[in-house]
């Protein structure tokens, strides 16, 4: 997609962080932007600050609810017509020691981080295919979808799933006029480290997650990460070039290399045993 002018984008998780920065950048490029978020009050506040009422619209959308996504799509088309870009950006974080994570918290993060991406794609992809004007799907994953850390299994699992899902869709769409890009940042300024406050089990515990070492480390790294605006600019550049992966951290390459080497070492060891 060489230009965003006069195109229409649907952005989830648009009330803050990367979603908000993407919305601003798209408007600046001349796109129409439907900003969606589960927090409609905050969404309307930030959309008003963009001050482009002819180019923006806001709609409440719970990405974990297929019906909510369908209703938001109907709203978007009624407002601007054909949708050309889908940003499956909404997401939450969740960590903890395996064996001690509530099942309902697992369901919560899977429903948002994975099913939210799936629902968005299943709803909007047929619409893009039907209007014949081309399009692009952008899924926000993470470097946590390429390598793992201890005590972050729920987040890693959902982001690995988004990477695999996106890679599969890429093969399906190859040769079509619909592209796909997957965002794989490490630390980008946002408030995602506060997402565990929304987890379902919060009502069942007196634990203050903000006092844990994991919280303080995440907050420090995110607060000192790349600006959301810079990452949005990087992402739009990748969409223009139809690039699939978007990375932002040279220091993270060593983790990808280490994972690759580990996989190949075990792969070769297993093949050696088969030969003997």
Active-site residue list: 155
Helix 116-131 × helix 66-80 angle, to 10°: 40
Which tokens sit at 20?
């908000």
247 burial type by CB count under 10 A (0-12 exposed, 13-18 middle, 19+ buried): middle
CB contact at 8 A, 103 and 153: no
Q: How far apart are CA 204 and CA 58, in angstroms?
A: 33
**Sheet with 56-60, side-by-side order of all strands:** 56-60, 32-37, 8-11, 85-88, 135-140, 178-183, 245-246
């Amino acid at each position: 997609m060489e230009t965003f002018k006069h195109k229409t984008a649907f952005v989830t998780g648009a009330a803050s962080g990367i979603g908000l920065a993407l919305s601003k950048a798209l408007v600046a490029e001349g796109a129409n932007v439907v900003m969606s978020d589960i927090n409609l009050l905050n969404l309307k506040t930030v959309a008003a600050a963009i001050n482009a009422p002819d180019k923006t619209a806001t709609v409440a959308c719970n990405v974990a609810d297929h019906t909510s996504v369908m209703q938001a799509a109907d709203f978007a088309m009624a407002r601007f017509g054909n949708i050309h870009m889908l940003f499956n950006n909404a997401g939450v974080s969740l960590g903890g020691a395996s064996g001690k994570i509530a099942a309902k918290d697992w369901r919560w993060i899977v429903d948002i981080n994975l099913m939210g991406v799936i629902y968005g794609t299943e709803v909007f992809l047929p619409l893009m295919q039907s209007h014949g004007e081309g399009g692009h799907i952008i899924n926000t994953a993470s470097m946590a979808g390429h390598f793992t850390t201890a005590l972050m299994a729920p987040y890693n699992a959902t982001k690995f799933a988004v990477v695999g899902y996106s890679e599969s869709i890429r093969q399906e769409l190859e040769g079509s006029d619909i592209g796909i890009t997957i965002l794989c940042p490490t630390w980008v300024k946002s408030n995602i480290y506060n997402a565990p406050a929304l987890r379902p089990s919060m009502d069942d515990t007196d634990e203050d997650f903000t006092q844990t070492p994991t919280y303080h480390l995440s907050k420090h790294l995110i607060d000192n990460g790349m600006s959301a605006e810079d990452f949005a600019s990087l992402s739009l550049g990748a969409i223009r070039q139809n690039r699939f992966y978007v990375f932002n951290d040279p220091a993270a390459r060593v983790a990808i290399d280490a994972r690759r080497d580990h996989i190949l070492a075990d792969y070769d060891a297993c093949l050696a045993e088969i030969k003997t």
